[in-house]
């Protein structure tokens, strides 16, 4: 609590950026100040700001005009983990230390009654551990991957979905013109939501997701059959975490000091080479990469992020902690943080959207 007797809360954004982060910050701050008369402290660069003691006071002016901005005004980091903080090197090996006690002390020093942690599963896992050490935390689920357990949808997903779908639409015309197989590799990590939904929306002929290992022969057969029927092009949408039957994911690189060290990527090029070799059809690959994280949030994400932010402020004022706000059936509810960390919301192979995709003749690779 601040010296003036007002409640004081902190807010941070952790992990990868995505559209809608600023909308949450704005929602938390404006509701806290106008409705509950609380002070709001912004933590810079996620948990890194708590470790390195870098914060900024948020006032009405600082959070005005940021609703439509992508990224985060507070900055973020996907390498900052108070329970595994790099402190030096021993030879070629990075040495880590647990500095979580220092973080808890700093939270107390700042006089924070609550801490709002906006992020994905890694951010929520760290938030769960800090909550167990006595920090009152409210989590807000963020990710373009839509893979956080406990919520029907995360903010950031709809904006990334629009970006991916627009890219597929543009690639469609060049595929038709040049009679090529065009592969679009999208993000999603180990969950196929982004590939599945953008593939359906963009009219993908083949959609490959992590939850359904693919048979390259069946993928090539689709390409060959379309060509025989006069459809001399094919659109293949592939999730970065897709893998062949009996095979494994393609790892682009490993970042040892990151909270999520495995960097996926390259599956599109692998599949493209195999298709060209097996069918003789010219194949091109487009990797959307971080384009999916940038830009202005969609109207849906602005509204959802604002709803999350206002709810988080209400929970902080009420003294509720150890929870994450979530969407369940259209309502904003809470789920225990301890139930979220370490779990992922994956695509069920029997999900209605899988049935829809198959219903319009889309190949899922099996």
The CATH number of the domain holding residue 17 is 3.40.50.450
CA within 13 Å, CB half, 318: 11
pLDDT score of 173: 87
Model confidence at 256: pLDDT above 70:
no
As to burial, measured by CB atoms within 10 angstroms (0-12 exposed, 13-18 middle, 19+ buried), residue 86 is middle
One domain for residues 70 and 86: yes
Please state, for a pLDDT cut of 70, what percent of the chain lies above it.
98
Evaluate whether residue 124 is within a structural domain: yes
**How would residue 4 be classed by pLDDT, with cut points 50, 70 and 90?**
confident
One domain for residues 191 and 145: no
pLDDT score of 60: 95
Is residue 316 within 8 Å of residue 32, measured between CB atoms?
Answer: yes
Q: Taken in order 142, 165, 184, 228, is the CA torsion positive or negative?
A: positive
Q: Which domain holds residue 72?
A: 8-155+297-340
Model confidence at 127: pLDDT above 90:
yes
One domain for residues 312 and 255: no
pLDDT score of 178: 76
Evaluate whether residue 52 is within a structural domain: yes
One domain for residues 310 and 278: no
Mean pLDDT along residues 276-289? 91
One domain for residues 317 and 282: no
Is residue 297 within 8 Å of residue 23, measured between CB atoms?
Answer: yes
Model confidence at 94: pLDDT above 90:
no
d(CA 315, CA 334): 9
Parallel, antiparallel, or unpaired for β 55-58 and 85-90? Answer: unpaired
One domain for residues 271 and 142: no
One domain for residues 148 and 40: yes
Question: Does pTM top 0.85 for this prediction?
Answer: yes
Could you tell me the two tokens for 135?
């920090």
One domain for residues 143 and 35: yes
Could you tell me the two tokens for 225?
């059959």
Where is average pLDDT lowest: 61-70, 176-185, 247-256, 314-323?
247-256
Model confidence at 301: pLDDT above 70:
yes
d(CA 38, CA 347): 40
Evaluate whether residue 350 is within a structural domain: no
Number of domains in the chain: 2
**How would residue 100 be classed by pLDDT, with cut points 50, 70 and 90?**
very high
Evaluate whether residue 365 is within a structural domain: no
Q: Which of 145, 158, 205, 301 is catalytic?
A: 145
Q: In the annotation, is 339 catalytic?
A: no
One domain for residues 183 and 259: yes
The CATH number of the domain holding residue 225 is 3.40.50.460
| Reduced 3-state DSSP string for 250-269 | CEEEECCCCCCCEEECCHHH
pLDDT score of 180: 87
First to last CA, the chain: 57
pLDDT score of 176: 81
Model confidence at 53: pLDDT above 80:
yes
Is residue 234 within 8 Å of residue 174, measured between CB atoms?
Answer: no
């Amino acid at each position: 609590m601040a010296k003036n007797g007002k409640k004081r809360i902190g807010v941070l954004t952790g992990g990868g950026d995505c559209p809608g982060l600023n909308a949450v910050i704005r929602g938390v701050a404006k509701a806290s100040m106008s409705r509950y008369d609380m002070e709001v402290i912004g933590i810079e660069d996620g948990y890194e700001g708590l470790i390195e003691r870098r914060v900024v006071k948020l006032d009405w002016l600082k959070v005005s005009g940021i609703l439509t901005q992508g990224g985060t005004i507070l900055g973020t980091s996907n390498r900052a983990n108070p329970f595994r903080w790099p402190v030096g090197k021993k030879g070629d090996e990075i040495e880590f230390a647990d500095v979580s006690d220092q973080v808890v002390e700093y939270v107390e020093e700042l006089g924070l009654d609550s801490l709002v942690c906006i992020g994905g599963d890694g951010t929520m896992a760290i938030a769960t551990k800090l909550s167990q050490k006595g920090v009152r935390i409210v989590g807000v689920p963020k990710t373009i991957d839509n893979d956080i357990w406990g919520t029907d949808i995360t903010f950031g997903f709809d904006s990334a979905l629009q970006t991916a779908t627009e890219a597929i639409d543009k690639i469609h015309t060049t595929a038709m013109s040049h009679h090529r197989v065009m592969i679009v590799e999208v993000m999603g990590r180990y969950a196929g939501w982004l590939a599945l939904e953008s593939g359906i929306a963009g009219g993908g002929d083949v959609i490959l997701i992590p939850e359904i290992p693919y048979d390259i022969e069946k993928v090539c057969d689709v390409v060959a059959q379309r060509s025989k029927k006069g459809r001399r092009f094919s659109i293949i949408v592939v999730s970065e975490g897709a893998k062949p039957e009996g095979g494994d994911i393609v790892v682009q690189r490993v970042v040892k000091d990151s909270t999520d060290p495995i960097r996926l990527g390259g599956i599109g090029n692998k599949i493209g080479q195999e298709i060209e070799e097996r069918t003789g059809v010219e194949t091109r690959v487009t990797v959307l990469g971080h384009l999916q994280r940038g830009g202005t949030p969609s109207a849906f994400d602005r509204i959802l992020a604002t709803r999350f932010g206002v709810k988080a402020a209400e929970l902080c004022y009420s003294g509720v902690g150890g929870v994450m706000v979530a969407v369940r059936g259209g309502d904003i509810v809470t789920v225990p943080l301890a139930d979220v960390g370490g779990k992922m919301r994956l695509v069920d192979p029997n999900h209605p959207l899988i049935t829809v995709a198959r219903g319009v003749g889309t190949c899922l690779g099996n």
